[in-house]
Structure 1
Amino acid sequence: MIWAVIPAAGRGTRFGGPLPKQYMEIAGRPLLGHALDALFADPRVDGAMVALAADDDRWPGWTSLHGRPVLSCVGGGERADSVLAALQALPADVGDDALILVHDAARPNLHALDLQRLIDAASADADGAILAAPVRDTLKRADAGADAGADVRILATQPRDHLWRALTPQAFRRGDLTAALLRARADDVAVTDEAMAMERTGARPRLVEGREDNLKVTTPADLALAEFLLSRRGQARGKR
């Protein structure tokens, strides 16, 4: 069994404006809807659980998409809290061995082949797997001015060998991921993604190289790029 979990309780403060970024629209559909569409493009995904803010009044009330169930629950203040709430709210028949795909609500341009390869890899690996992309740009470490909001200078150039950017979905067994997130909470460790929680338990998740255009919308410029990418995909499908 495979279920998707989407943490969507965030406010999107870096994006700006009163509308949470997961509800920003492209082609008349919110980013969250595009994210769900992308996940359900694989017929092996049985359903989705979306973690929402307690006061979310913009949730469209979806109960199914593409013939599969879409459920919702109340998330938390941080990503890990929302993912954990969603895991605990899954239906009783979703066992500890079920594969869970955690995907960003504002990451609308997931390609079907990447998803297929991720599911295949995670299904065959007890430690799970994540989509990721090798770091290709030169990395610079900033000096203390970056924290002070003052004049920012280069402190050093960081080697990029063996560095990857974590993308989503990230795929792990329900029982393992739940235990990892509970352990991080008990240890008062703020994990920034699911793989980090799993790493703390000794797991070594597999890296599955994904497309660079699987971008997360964080700024208005990202939204414009995502709109362009999705329109190109739509045009390509129309020419087939």
Structure 2
Amino acid sequence: MTDLLDSAPKRKYWVIVPAAGVGSRMMADRPKQYLPLAGKTVIEHTLNKLLTCKQFDTLLVGLSPEDCYWDALPVSRNDRIIRYDGGRERVDTVLNGLYAILGKAEPDDWVLVHDVARPCVTIEDIDRLIRQLNDSETGGILGVPVADTVKRVERGCIVDTVDRSCLWRAYTPQMFRYQTLLNALEKGLKEGLQITDEASAIEALGVAPEMVLGSAENIKITQPGDLELAEIYLSRENKTDNK
């Protein structure tokens, strides 16, 4: 498949893939990133997808220091991948990844953070994210508008119907300047903020990240049934690529 990023302006892009979690909601015998999916593991699909983007010189994969599965995977020996120790929470793992390239990354380099449990992200979505944000000072994220009716519930009862016209689901990759993201995460942790994704830390700085329309198929695997859905999406994508 032709790499859609080849024609993009040549800049330095770092990719951080936090993968130190245990995925307890999957009720499996191993972290969800190592569960089988369409002939490989979830993490292999995710990393192989990112590796097709030749614009990404380095992928940093944040793993638990006790991880006993990674070394058995062929992708672990790819010379574009650097393993580093993750932290207790996702934000700690991302911050450790930023520290791992301290002194190597320039302040204005781009950093893309992508959930390891989103193996169905498409090259087209990544390409659109980079093209739309390439000249942005703030950066932004992939997402999709909320399609369902949203209810506010208190003590098990509906108390309000929320206006969904301005609501979006936040996906990844999320793409920000290296120094800006580093400052935002450090400041957020110091102030005790709840940092659920990189964009929330950037928002706390008083700036507004851009939202880039992505595909609704870029699902995050969190429940057992998500694996079946991801396999359908990946199978359909492979059929399209082979035409």
- Cα 1:181/1:109, change in 2 over 3 Å: same
Residue 110 of structure 1, CA deviation: 0.6
Residue 40 of structure 1, CA deviation: 2.2
Q: Superposed, which structure 2 residues align to 1:118-129 within 5 Å?
A: 118-129=129-140
Question: What is the DSSP-based 3-state SS (H/G/I as helix, E as strand, rest coil) of the residue aligned with 2:147?
Answer: coil
> Who is 1:173 aligned against?
177
CA distance in 1, matches of 2:45, 2:165: 33
Query: Does structure 1 retain, via aligned residues, the 8 Å contact 2:70–2:76?
Result: no
Which range is displaced more, 158-167 or 37-46?
Answer: 37-46
Query: Does structure 2 retain, via aligned residues, the 8 Å contact 1:122–1:129?
Result: yes
Q: Superposed, which structure 2 residues align to 1:1-240 within 5 Å?
A: 1-60=12-71, 62-63=75-76, 65=78, 69-90=80-101, 92-144=103-155, 152-238=156-242, 240=243
Query: Does structure 1 retain, via aligned residues, the 8 Å contact 2:20–2:63?
Result: yes
Residue 91 of structure 1, CA deviation: 6.6
| CA deviation vs aligned residue, 1:143-179 (integer Å, no higher than 9, x gap) | 22xxxxxxx3322211101111100000001111011
Question: What is the DSSP-based 3-state SS (H/G/I as helix, E as strand, rest coil) of the residue aligned with 1:46?
Answer: strand
CA distance in 1, matches of 2:152, 2:109: 40
Q: Percent identity?
A: 38
CA distance in 2, matches of 1:72, 1:18: 23
Query: Does structure 2 retain, via aligned residues, the 8 Å contact 1:49–1:90?
Result: no
TM-score scaled by length of structure 1: 0.91
TM-score scaled by length of structure 2: 0.90
Residue 64 of structure 1, CA deviation: 5.1
Residue 93 of structure 1, CA deviation: 2.7
Q: Figure out how many residues of one structure are paired with residues of the other and give that number.
A: 230
Query: Does structure 2 retain, via aligned residues, the 8 Å contact 1:23–1:58?
Result: yes
Residue 106 of structure 1, CA deviation: 0.6
Paired AA for residue 120 in structure 1: R
Question: What is the DSSP-based 3-state SS (H/G/I as helix, E as strand, rest coil) of the residue aligned with 1:83?
Answer: helix
- Cα 1:91/1:31, change in 2 over 3 Å: farther
Query: Does structure 2 retain, via aligned residues, the 8 Å contact 1:63–1:69?
Result: no
Question: What is the DSSP-based 3-state SS (H/G/I as helix, E as strand, rest coil) of the residue aligned with 1:221?
Answer: helix
| Structure 1 runs (4+) greater than 6 angstroms displaced | none
Residue 42 of structure 1, CA deviation: 2.1
CA distance in 1, matches of 2:119, 2:56: 17
CA distance in 2, matches of 1:206, 1:163: 14
Residue 221 of structure 1, CA deviation: 0.7
Paired AA for residue 131 in structure 1: L
CA distance in 2, matches of 1:124, 1:16: 43
Residue 39 of structure 1, CA deviation: 1.7
Cα-Cα RMSD: 1.4
